[in-house]
Amino acid sequence: MSDWDGLRSTVEAMRAGLDLEMPGPGVHRREKLIDAFQRGDVGAEAIRAGARRVLHLLERVGAFEAPEISDERAEDRPETRALIRRAGVDGMVLLKNAGALPLAPRKGARIAVIGPNAKTARAMGGGSAQLNPHYLVTPWDALREALPDAVLAYELGADNRRLAATITGEIVADYYIGRSPGFAGVAVEV
């Protein structure tokens, strides 16, 4: 399945085994896939195989037996918390551990916590990735609780705001004809 609006091809995606374009209705499937099939760029067996995989998924999750979408429910269970924690740990990548991890609760240990989300709990994305967790813990608070004798230092680091801050200084724009700055400039605007 593609990320939302992440698909940029028809033939290449089919050859790579991408079976479902999201969100639907797709842009790079439907008529474009029919055209690719008619040109001979995508074979009927590849289309059938992709459709079989989607149907198998629907069968596996019980969508044929219960096609209605059930109401959301909140179930805060210890086994679910353990599964989520294990998935998070298993999904982490450590490029090199030179004895730094796991963090040992040494008195006076100095730890730099860097990043705009270190003191802000981020637990959701947009659209179908949005969720309302039972509770939130910031990385800063988790480190503070796990290592009460450590000295934590915070810095913002890179900013991750959706929109960049407004520029208040002077801006100069040079306009050129052609694709290279080697061409003669046609206008300068301040």
In this structure, are residues 83 and 90 in contact, taking their beta carbons and an 8 Å threshold? no
Residue type, 149: D
Q: Which residues pair with 189 in a beta bridge?
A: 173
Per the residue annotation, which of 3, 5, 35, 141 is the catalytic one? 3
19 is catalytic: no
The C-alpha atoms of residue 190 and residue 183 are separated, in whole angstroms, by 20
Could you tell me which residues come within 8 angstroms of residue 103 by beta carbon, excluding any fewer than 6 positions away?
A: 109, 111, 143, 146, 147, 150
| Residues catalogued as catalytic | 3
